[in-house]
Chains A and B, each alone.
Chain A
Amino acid sequence: MTPPPHLRVSGIHKRFGGLHALRGVDFEVARGEVMALVGDNGAGKSTLMKVLAGAHLADEGSFWLDDQQVQVNGPTDAADLGIQIVYQDLALCENLDVSANLSLGAEPVKAGFGFLPRFLRPIDDLEMEIKAQKAIDRLEVRTLKSVRSLVGGLSGGQRQAIAIARAVGAESSVVMLDEPTAALGVAQTRQVLNVVRRLRDTNHAVVYISHNMRDIFEIADRICVLRHGGNVATWKTSETTPDEIVVAMTRGLDGGQGNAA
């Protein structure tokens, strides 16, 4: 049986001018599960993800978090609800070290400087390192030597892990990953998949966008297939095969819902 959803959206419509990108999509993800979101190019995966993260506003549709209806009218709303997104480009500052990246925009400051405006108070960088070390330890990123190493010198897998750690560090319950292994080799991919597993084990709801069937069948609990901006269906990974998913992505289901192209 499927666990109760943590985040659920239904009937999401999104139009960009004449382009009807999302046509009444339903989507849900539960805590402690990895939900894969797949579809061919232009199926609406990225649009759906951006709607969930508040980067795009849905034209129609409703959001529920733990059965409470909520409003998402911007990225800060989504962040306040604990929805975090790790974009494909990661958006890390390569000139800063790991701990600075993990605290970016929310640097802890030392107490006792209340007479200064917050942006001019001294950063408590020791506290920052402790926080970073905890975040890294939680995700069990073992290859990282020091939280003081510059991100510019890290491998692709380590960077992905840092970006995920930053999203998780922000008190998030839903973490969305956009093609996290697209540019990575075998060993690096393994490292990132381990981090994703740790996210699931720490009771996060993980949305995993990918084209790579092998990764998806290794990591996902359920797979949601989109096609032409609508749902095709959602499968349990254990009850389907890569071939079936690929067919659903490219041709849809015979007589299935949501593929009125």
Chain B
Amino acid sequence: MPHEPALSIADRMRIMRQTRFGAFVPVLLALAAIWGYFGLIAPLFEYWSDPAADSIRFIFLSPRNIYNLFMQSAVIATLAVGITIVLLLGDIDLSAAATAGVCAALLGVLVLAGVPGWLACLMVMVVGTVMGAAQGLLIAYVGIPSFVVTLAGLLGYQGLMQKILPTGNLNVDDPFIRAIARILIPDMLGVVLAIGLVALVAASALRRQSMRRARGLELDSRFAIWGQIGFFAAITFATVLTLNSYRAVPLMIVLLVALTALIGWITTSTPFGRSVFAVGGNAESARRVGMKVNRIRVAAFGIVGLMAAIGGIFGASRFGSVSYTAFAGGSLLLESIGAAVIGGTSLFGGRGSVWNAILGALVIGSLGNGLDLSGASSADKLMFSGAILLLAVAIDAVSRPAGAAGR
């Protein structure tokens, strides 16, 4: 007897998240909810409840605050992009923030010793990669669970950072390093870049569609294609124009987007990226088709190390200093893992995207920023962040494929 079983909410969510753009929906909703609350509801409420206020003050959604929000979230996002790679494998990296801390401290010491800024940056990127890959070697070849190895890494690297920075603080005023956060892309160039980017995305989507037609493959719906292009264009132009109306697009954001695009391309469109997804989905399957699972693990942890080092450079550049609490000792680690997970990358491996990590970082950044603006205590911030993280993991657990539930 044919019958259509009614879809439960969990089923619907699962189906939605399996589509290419559906995975963006939960994190976008979370972002919209947070921005709506801090940007509209909170100021309106304040206006109505306080007779002394003479006008509504939309501080949160002001271009100035959005600019700060992007800069605050950039370091979290850089680490989250790296962490996403190991989450895709079904592993976790607890040492990313400590790695970033060691790299930033090393950077500070190197430039203090007179090493040119660009060379110091390259050196710490190599060091970060080695630090990550070393943990990967232990995980892949010795067979220690990644949780334990990177927990040990977290402790060890925290200690290492304290060794490098006995005072816990160091100013970085190398012009090259400061420039990463200080250089602004001129307004017009920013707009031109945005137009070029949107045109590129649109052209490649349309070219793909025409190639599909030429080869007689099933076609994407017109709605989906133009929806994707429109969505991408809206986000790009909104970002660039908002940032332009305060200052301009900072170089750091451009670098972050470029890096994410590169890593996103590697994960989705190359045999290496495919093998990362395969190992996360079914490591036994990957092994049987001849993939070198161990090497893939080491490479993935190397990439986290590299991204952590870049995060360290970005942080040092933005703060103009390196401090223990800003990296290894602070909340950066949990914020960046939280960003990756809130972005919709599964803790169970095999599902996720680096772009979502950036949106997740914005969610975490917005939450902190909004709570700061409304005068919440750090205790409130921690509890809110915990609740959001829990919600994200719950969505992840509920929307896992049914067949994988018992794995």
Contacts and interface: CB of A to CB of B under 8 A. Distances in A.
Interface in B160-198: none
Contacts, number: 92
Contact of A123 (B270, B351, B402): B270
A93 B291 CA distance: 13
A122 B271 CA distance: 7
B282 A105 contact: no
A152 B401 contact: yes
| B interface bracket (residues with beta carbon within 8 Å of A) | 20 to 34
Interface string B370-381: 000000000000
Interface residues of A, number: 32
Given A95-B351, A152-B18, A76 B290 contact: yes
A75 B287 CA distance: 11
Interface in A70-106: 75-76, 87, 89, 91-96, 100, 104-106
Interface string B267-307: 00111101101101110111011110000000000000000
A105 B288 CA distance: 9
Nearest to A133: B217
B404 interface: yes
Top-7 shortest CB links A-B:
A105-B289, A152-B401, A93-B281, A95-B350, A91-B285, A95-B281, A119-B272
Interface of A: 75-76, 87, 89, 91-96, 100, 104-107, 109, 118-123, 125-126, 129-130, 133, 146, 148, 150, 152-153
Contacts of B277: 93, 95-96, 100
Nearest to A159: B403
Interface in B206-221: 208, 211-212, 215, 217-218
A93 B282 contact: yes
B270 A92 contact: no
A237 B402 CA distance: 39
Query: Which of A87, A89, A93, A122 has the most C-beta atoms of chain B within 10 angstroms of its own C-beta?
Result: A93
26 contacts: A92-B285, A93-B282, A93-B285, A94-B401, A94-B403, A94-B404, A96-B277, A96-B278, A96-B350, A100-B274, A104-B278, A104-B285, A105-B289, A106-B289, A107-B271, A120-B270, A123-B269, A125-B269, A126-B217, A133-B217, A146-B218, A148-B218, A152-B401, A152-B403, A153-B15, A153-B18
Given A93-B285, A126-B212, 11 more contacts: A92-B285, A95-B280, A95-B281, A104-B291, A105-B290, A120-B266, A120-B271, A120-B272, A126-B217, A130-B215, A146-B218
A118 B269 CA distance: 12
B281 A94 contact: yes
A92 B282 contact: yes
Nearest to A104: B289
A154 B194 CA distance: 40
A52 to B, nearest CB: 15
Contacts of B272: 119-120
A148 B220 CA distance: 11
Nearest to B350: A95
A119 B270 contact: yes
Contacts of B280: 95
A79 to B, nearest CB: 9
Contacts of B282: 91-94
Contact of A119 (B275, B284, B289, B290): B275
